[in-house]
DNA sequence: GGTTGATCATAC
DNA sequence: GTATGATCAACC
C-alpha cells in the first residue's frame, strides 16, 4: 500500500500533466478516448481522477479527503474563458432548518480546489485536446462572502417552500439548476405550505463569470 | 453568443 | 433514487 500523497506531491503530479493531450494521458492509464463528450460528459473529469489517483469514488466527499482537496476540471475556450458552469454539489431540499453556511456541503467542497483547466474547444477532436496548468484555489474572504450570500438566499427560499420559484438567474456567483438524469426525475422537497412535495432535484453551480475571475487572477502576468 | 434548463454514463 | 463526473442544446 502506497503512502498517502501530500498536497505538494498532488500538485506536482497535476502540474506535470500540463501540455499532454487527452489521448496521451488516456493511453498511459489504459483508457480509450471517446469520439466526443456527447454521451460521455464526465469523461475528462474521470480521466484526471484516474491520472491523479482520486480516492473518494462515488461517495459524497472531497476527491482527496485526506488532503481536504476537491478536484475540478474546467473547460476553457481559445480565449481562456470558461465554457461551462461548474457543478459543486446537489442541493438539500428537506431538513434544511438549522443548516448553516459553515457546515454546508458547498463550503466544504470549495474550501480547497485543485483546478485543472482543460481544452474545451469542440472544433478540435477530443483526443487532441490538451490539459492545462493546474492551480490550487482557496476562496478569498470576498469570494467566500459572495458564495455565502447566494447560498443563504437559495436555502432561505428552499426552507420557505419556494424551491420551484428559483431560477438560474438568481445568485451572483452561485446558481441553482436541475441536477438529474432527466426532467422526469423527482425527489422530496418542502412545499409552499410546509408540506412535502415532489420536485426535480437541484444542484449548486458556480457561474462562469465567477470562475473566469479566478482564472484571470491566477494567470494574470 | 451567452445562459438556462435538460441531459448522459456509471456505480450502488 | 442518489451519488459521482459534467456538457449538451434549445432558447433568449
pLDDT digits (tens, 9 = 90+) for A95-128: 999 999 999 999 999 999 999 999 999 999 999 9
Distance of A58 CA from B12 C1′ (whole Å):
9
Q: Please say if the pLDDT value at position A4 is more than 90.
A: no
Q: Which nucleotide is nearest to A43 (CA to C1')?
A: C5
- Residue A2: pLDDT band (50, 70, 90) is low
Distance of A89 CA from B9 C1′ (whole Å):
18
Q: Which pTM was predicted?
A: 0.97
Q: Which nucleotide is nearest to A37 (CA to C1')?
A: C7
Q: Please say if the pLDDT value at position A59 is more than 90.
A: no
Q: Which three cell numbers stand for residue A153?
A: 438566499
Pick the closest to residue A83 from A142, A113, A41 (CA basis): A41
pLDDT digits (tens, 9 = 90+) for A60-72: 889 999 999 999 9
Q: Which nucleotide is nearest to A48 (CA to C1')?
A: C5
> What is the predicted pLDDT for the residue at A57?
76
* Mean pLDDT score across all residues of chain A: 96
Task: Name all domains of chain A by residue range, CATH numbers in brackets.
Answer: 2-87+103-153+204-218 (3.40.600.10)
Q: Please say if the pLDDT value at position A152 is more than 80.
A: yes
Amino acid at each position: 500500500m502506497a503512502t498517502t500523497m501530500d498536497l505538494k506531491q498532488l500538485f506536482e503530479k497535476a502540474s506535470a500533466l500540463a501540455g499532454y493531450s487527452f489521448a496521451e494521458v488516456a493511453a498511459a492509464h489504459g483508457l480509450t478516448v471517446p469520439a466526443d463528450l456527447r454521451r460521455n460528459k464526465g469523461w475528462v473529469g474521470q480521466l484526471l481522477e484516474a491520472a491523479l489517483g482520486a480516492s473518494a469514488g462515488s461517495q459524497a466527499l472531497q476527491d482527496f479527503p485526506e488532503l481536504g482537496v476537491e478536484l475540478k476540471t474546467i473547460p476553457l475556450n481559445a480565449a481562456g474563458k470558461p465554457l461551462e458552469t461548474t457543478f459543486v454539489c446537489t442541493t438539500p431540499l428537506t431538513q434544511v432548518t438549522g443548516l448553516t453556511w459553515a457546515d454546508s456541503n458547498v463550503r466544504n467542497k470549495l474550501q480547497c480546489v485543485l483546478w485543472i483547466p482543460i481544452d474545451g474547444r469542440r472544433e478540435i477532436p477530443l483526443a487532441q485536446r490538451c490539459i492545462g496548468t493546474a492551480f490550487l484555489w482557496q476562496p478569498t474572504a470576498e469570494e467566500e462572502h459572495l458564495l455565502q450570500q447566494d447560498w443563504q438566499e437559495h436555502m432561505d427560499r428552499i426552507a420557505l417552500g419556494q424551491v420551484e420559484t428559483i431560477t438560474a438567474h438568481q445568485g451572483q456567483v452561485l446558481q441553482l439548476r436541475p441536477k438529474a438524469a432527466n426532467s422526469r426525475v423527482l425527489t422530496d422537497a418542502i412545499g409552499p405550505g410546509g408540506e412535502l412535495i415532489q420536485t426535480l432535484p437541484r444542484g449548486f453551480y458556480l457561474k462562469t463569470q465567477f470562475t473566469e475571475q479566478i482564472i484571470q487572477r491566477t494567470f494574470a502576468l
